[in-house]
């Protein structure tokens, strides 16, 4: 896997977490309007869906190679 893909995935996850905390901040602040909360949560959901579709597409195109959590040993036939 190319390191750039890893950095893009981590950056996307950081953006998603940032928007989650931004929505929480607007939710707890009394002076914020509900539109700010909805906007932050909608952006977070959009980023999450985009990341999920991007990971599926990258896996389909071969940029990401899935592997098992516990790799199995291959047996050699004699």
Share of the chain above pLDDT 70, in %: 88
CA dist 59 and 5 (Å) reads 11
Q: Is residue 40 part of a domain?
A: yes
pTM for this entry: 0.76
Range of the domain at 10: 3-26+33-61
Share of the chain above pLDDT 90, in %: 50
Asked if the model's pLDDT at residue 1 lies above 70, the reply is no
Give the separation between CA 43 and CA 14, rounded to whole angstroms: 13
Say what the pLDDT of residue 20 is: 93
Q: What is the C-alpha separation between 51 and 14, in angstroms, rounded?
A: 12
- Asked if 65 contacts 2 with a C-beta cutoff of 8 angstroms, the reply is no
Confirm whether 72 is domain-assigned: no
Q: What mean pLDDT comes out for the span 16-28?
A: 92
Q: What is the mean pLDDT of residues 20-32?
A: 88
Q: Total domain count for the chain? A: 1
């Amino acid at each position: 896997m190319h390191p750039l893909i890893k950095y893009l995935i981590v950056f996307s996850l950081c953006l998603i977490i940032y928007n989650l905390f931004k929505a929480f901040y607007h939710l707890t602040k009394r002076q914020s309007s509900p539109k700010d909360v909805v906007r932050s949560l909608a952006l977070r959901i959009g980023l999450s869906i985009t990341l999920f579709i991007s990971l599926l597409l990258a896996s389909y195109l071969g940029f990401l190679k899935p592997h098992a959590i516990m790799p199995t040993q291959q047996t050699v036939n004699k």
